[in-house]
A = this chain, B = another copy of it.
Amino acid sequence: MCEATVFVSKGKDLEKVMEDVVELRREGDKLLLVDVFGEQRIISAKVGEVQLMDHRIVLREG
């Protein structure tokens, strides 16, 4: 399976936002995250990095 863990970069640290994410979609200036269970989360951020082999997506706030 190809779920990813989504982090937000805070300076040099990564803060975990959501696990098992299967969908990420821009909604205006926010991002909608959806996990494998259908749980949703909206976050004010931009996509900084998508590492598909590492199952990792890093967002940048703002």
A21 and B60 form a contact (CB under 8 A): no
B52 and A25 form a contact (CB under 8 A): no
Number of identical monomers bound together in the oligomeric complex? 2
Interface footprint category on A = 20 to 34
Chain B nearest CB: distance from A44 CB in Å?
A: 15
Residue from B26, B49, B57 within 8 A of A49 (CB atoms): B26
Chain B nearest CB: distance from A45 CB in Å?
A: 11
Contact bitstring A38-49, B, C-beta under 8 A = 1, else 0: 000000001111
Residue of A21, A47, A57 ringed by the most chain B CB atoms within 10 A: A47
List chain B residues, Cβ under 8 A from A21.
52
Chain B nearest CB: distance from A33 CB in Å?
A: 9
